[in-house]
Amino acid sequence: MNDLSEALYEQLGIDKDVYELGEMWCEKLKERFDTIDGIAEYNQLKVIKGMQEAKVSEACLTGTTGYGYNDLGRETLEAVYAGIFHTEDALVRPQITCGTHALALALMSNLRPGDEILSPVGKPYDTLEEVIGIRKSKGSLREYGINYSQVDLLPDGEFDYEGIRKAIGPNTRLATIQRSKGYEPRKTLSVDRIGQLISYIKSIKSDVICMVDNCYGEFVETKEPSDVGADMVVGSLIKNPGGGLAPIGGYIAGKKEYIENAAYRLTSPGLGKEVGASLGVLPAFYQGLFLSPVVVASALKGAVFAANILESFGFPVVPSGSESRHDIIQAVTLGSEEGVVAFCKGIQAAAPVDSFVTPEPWDMPGYDSKVIMAAGAFVSGSSIELSADGPIKPPYAVYFQGGLTFPHAKFGILKAVQELKNSGVIRL
């Protein structure tokens, strides 16, 4: 079979030396992949248990239109999410358009003028800057009199506990904790580290709402931030929990009071969770969630594979090839615009959709520099599918994620290595 595969890789533009490099690393990483599969098995059982306990039935797969009153499938799905995340309630809706929208919704619904947000893990992801008002934007929280403070991580990546203690004041209402790295080459926070941070914050001011941006982190570990004290966990369905099938949507899981506030903000005061038609997307939401632990495992294997190969060429990678994983994102500092563009061209060329398209940097809304994005996805913008992106600015890092299957993730990385070789950025 390897001979057949090698011939097909050659037809797809992979040189023999690139193919052999990939095979060598697949063999070396077998034990690591087995560990990832073990976590996927646990999380798969957790999802099945959540669905069974919520009594998911065939009737749950039919949708509603119009107001969406008494939508059994929508209400049951939210019970499934609350069960899986071990929270009091959840809001899971196609009307939540993306991860940034879910985060904005959680913030805007639970903050009032005069409140202060604290980010104890440094600068949040770029698109959240305009939500908060770090960068001026219409409708930002700052326009509504909600203030923001930030405590950067220490140079070694540890929490600045003293700085956090000083930053928490009488008006500190909410701490936003970004689990993943965003466009920063820092380490992703493990669930245990998030729990330690939450415990510390609440020891200083017990009524601070601790919200975790869980994007890219769902089902990577056997625990979620809500298992270690998070009051809200927030994410996007076109990332991990949608399993590559959800065509849109986001979720907020947490304490009932905060979820109710979010529902009233999403729809209208007096209506809350009672309205919001599911419009035929429920089968994809349910089946995507069911598949997500195995899909996430495939993406994790791709990230580990990428880290080890690119590290072998001397590129700084975060996390390293041997470190534990806490999200699906692999950051690679390529050191030049040429390297970032070549890498993204390789990922695009490996796609099942739009493989013939050449990605180029562009002025993307919500970012302060040009960004290049490579993704040939069945769902537009789906980060659980094979994709790579990065801002065109120093240190010229690219962020690789996804892969609904490991064979596709593997091919994508080999294609990226091939493009780096063709462009002269690396030599084999």
Q: How does DSSP classify residue 362?
A: B
Looking at the structure, do residues 28 and 83 belong to the same domain, yes or no? no
From 279, 313, 344, give the residue that closes a domain: 279
Looking at the structure, do residues 202 and 124 belong to the same domain, yes or no? yes
Looking at the structure, do residues 124 and 184 belong to the same domain, yes or no? yes
Give the model confidence (pLDDT) of 392-403 as tens digits. 999 999 999 999
Looking at the structure, do residues 189 and 230 belong to the same domain, yes or no? yes
CA angle 48, 52, 56 (to 5 degrees): 110
DSSP string of 225-285? GGGGT-SEEEEETTSGGGTTT--S-EEEEE-HHHHHHHHHHHS-TTTGGG----TT-HHHH
Nearest alpha carbon to residue 372 among 351, 356, 352, 393: 393
Calculate mean pLDDT across residues 132-158: 95
Per-residue pLDDT, 126 = 83
Per-residue pLDDT, 231 = 98
> Residue 399's domain is classified under what CATH number?
3.90.1150.60
Identity (one letter) of the amino acid at 393? K
Per-residue pLDDT, 181 = 83
Average model confidence (pLDDT) for the chain? 96
Calculate mean pLDDT across residues 113-137: 94
Nearest alpha carbon to residue 45 among 191, 192, 219, 226: 219
Per-residue pLDDT, 384 = 96
Is the CB of residue 410 less than 8 Å from the CB of residue 22? yes
Looking at the structure, do residues 366 and 271 belong to the same domain, yes or no? no
Per-residue pLDDT, 185 = 67
Q: How far is CA 322 from the centre of its chain?
A: 21
285 is a domain residue: no
Domain that holds residue 103: 62-279
Q: How many angstroms separate the Cα of 244 from the Cα of each of 38, 113, 116, 351?
A: 21, 38, 36, 14
Per-residue pLDDT, 230 = 98
Rounded CA separation 358/87 (Å): 43
Looking at the structure, do residues 167 and 30 belong to the same domain, yes or no? no
Is the CB of residue 89 less than 8 Å from the CB of residue 253? yes
State the residue for tokens 């797809």: 12
Helix, coil or strand: residue 389: strand
**Residues of the chain with pLDDT > 70: what percent?**
99
State the residue for tokens 């072998």: 312
State the residue for tokens 């990922």: 347
CA angle 257, 260, 265 (to 5 degrees): 130
- Output the furthest CA–CA distance in the chain (Å, rounded): 67
Residue-level length of the chain: 428
Give the model confidence (pLDDT) of 281-295 as tens digits. 999 999 999 999 999
Is the CB of residue 244 less than 8 Å from the CB of residue 382? yes
209 is a domain residue: yes
CA angle 259, 169, 134 (to 5 degrees): 70
Looking at the structure, do residues 259 and 306 belong to the same domain, yes or no? no
Per-residue pLDDT, 366 = 65
From 223, 255, 279, give the residue that closes a domain: 279
> Residue 151's domain is classified under what CATH number?
3.40.640.10
Looking at the structure, do residues 39 and 102 belong to the same domain, yes or no? no
222 is a domain residue: yes
Give the model confidence (pLDDT) of 61-106 as tens digits. 999 999 999 999 999 999 999 999 999 999 999 999 999 999 999 9
Rounded CA separation 408/297 (Å): 13
Rounded CA separation 361/21 (Å): 29
Per-residue pLDDT, 425 = 95
Please tell me the total count of domains within the chain. 2
H-assigned helices in 54-116:
72-85, 99-110
The verdict on whether omega for the bond into residue 319 sits within 30 degrees of 0, i.e. cis, is yes
Per-residue pLDDT, 237 = 98
**Residues of the chain with pLDDT > 90: what percent?**
94
Looking at the structure, do residues 261 and 162 belong to the same domain, yes or no? yes
From 279, 310, 331, give the residue that closes a domain: 279
Looking at the structure, do residues 159 and 271 belong to the same domain, yes or no? yes
Looking at the structure, do residues 151 and 265 belong to the same domain, yes or no? yes
State the residue for tokens 């195995």: 294
Per-residue pLDDT, 92 = 98
49 is a domain residue: no
301 is a domain residue: yes
Give the model confidence (pLDDT) of 166-216 as tens digits. 999 999 999 999 999 877 767 899 999 999 999 999 999 999 999 999 999
52 is a domain residue: no
Give the model confidence (pLDDT) of 337-392 as tens digits. 999 999 999 999 999 999 999 999 988 776 778 999 999 999 998 999 999 999 99
Is the CB of residue 414 less than 8 Å from the CB of residue 406? no
Give the model confidence (pLDDT) of 84-93 as tens digits. 999 999 999 9
